[in-house]
Amino acid sequence: MDHKIDIRQLSLEELTKKMVELGEKPYRANQIYDWLWKKRAIAFSEMTNLSKPFRKLIEDNFTINAVQLKEAQKSKDRTIKNAFLLADNAVIEGVLIPTKKRMTACVSVQVGCSLDCAFCATGKLKRVRNLNADEIYDQVVMINNQSKKDYDIPISNIVYMGMGEPLLNYKSVLMSIERITSPNGLGMSPKRITVSTAGISKMIKKLADDKVKFNLALSLHAANDDKRNKIMPINESNSLSSLKEAMIYFVEKTGIRPTLEYIIFKDFNDEISDAKELVQFGKSFPSKVNIIEYNSIDQGKFQQAQKDKVDTFASYLESHKVIVNVRRSRGKDIDAACGQLANKNELVN
Looking at 106, 117, 120, 338, which residue is catalytic? 338
Return left, alpha or beta for 332; rule: phi > 0 is left, psi -120 to 50 is alpha, else beta. Answer: alpha
Spatial distance between the Cα atoms of 109 and 93, rounded to a whole number of angstroms: 10
Spatial distance between the Cα atoms of 307 and 330, rounded to a whole number of angstroms: 16
CB-based contacts of 175, cutoff 8 Å, min separation 6? 133
Spatial distance between the Cα atoms of 82 and 349, rounded to a whole number of angstroms: 23
Sign of the four-CA dihedral 109, 112, 114, 120? positive
Is 338 one of the catalytic residues?
yes
Is 59 one of the catalytic residues?
no
Rounded to 10 degrees, what is the CA torsion of 243, 235, 129, 339? -100
Sign of the four-CA dihedral 8, 14, 16, 19? negative
Looking at 93, 135, 165, 293, which residue is catalytic? 93
Per the document, the length of the chain is: 349
Catalytically annotated residues: 93, 338
